[in-house]
Amino acid sequence: MIHIQELQFHYATGEFRLKIPELSVAEGEKVAVIGPSGSGKTTLLNLIAGIITPINGTISVGDTQVSELTDRERREFRITKIGFVFQDFELLDYLNVFDNVLHPYRITGALTLDKEVRPRAKTLVQDMGIGGKLKRHPNNLSQGEKQRAAICRALLPEPKLILADEPTGNLDPENKIRILDLLFRHTEENGTILLAVTHDHALLNRFDRVIDFKDFRF
């Protein structure tokens, strides 16, 4: 479960202000986050993941109060508990697709790259329709293929929370459905929370709930 209480955040420069009095997301819930550009949707994901920290207020994910963790603890929490699909993918150009998908297991001792991980990774990339591109590097992939590789990387550790920033933004209609089906199946099979920022309102009826940032006062 995600629970946010009396959250306030602003950057060191600029006029942006984010204020959320209270927000909760239940275990297993699939929630879409919508709102105009610049309203704070991506900032909210970064706060929940501990990439940035609030000025005031608390953010809890399950039994962990993310806003109280140290930098190192937030990094480990993010790697082991959260599958983050970044809008700009954050794939490493010097690694091929398969190694990018496995990368979380190679940057921390908190994840174990055992004999079950590689077959699971191959199944994920097959399900995503990029099984034939395992040896390609990101600069030889389309935007949609990069998006799908990034989603495979996020799902591989079987996280209890998926934060997705425009996960279908670079995909054609057929692959949008493929991606959502895979994300929703993971959510249902693992009791995972899915919190997805999207501008694609045609997909909203597939989510359990929609959070509209125009309802918040910034």
Residues 187, 136: Cα–Cα separation, whole Å: 29
Whether residue 21 is contained in a domain is answered as: yes
pLDDT the model gives residue 46 = 94
Quickly tell me which residue has 């909210």 as its tokens: 44
Whether residue 200 is contained in a domain is answered as: yes
84-142 pLDDT tens trace: 998 888 999 999 999 999 999 998 888 889 989 999 999 999 988 999 999 999 999 99
Q: Determine the structural domain holding residue 72 and report its residue range.
A: 2-212
The band of 216, judged by pLDDT with boundaries at 50, 70 and 90, is low
Between 21 and 37, the higher pLDDT residue: 21
Report, as an integer, the average pLDDT of 74-90.
Answer: 89
pTM: 0.91
Whether residue 126 is contained in a domain is answered as: yes
- Beta-bridge partners for 65: 60
Whether residue 174 is contained in a domain is answered as: yes
Q: Number of structural domains, the chain?
A: 1
Residue 38 reports pLDDT greater than 50: yes
Whether residue 217 is contained in a domain is answered as: no
Where residue 20 sits, what CATH number does that domain have? 3.40.50.300
What tokens does 107 get?
Answer: 């940057």
What tokens does 108 get?
Answer: 């921390």
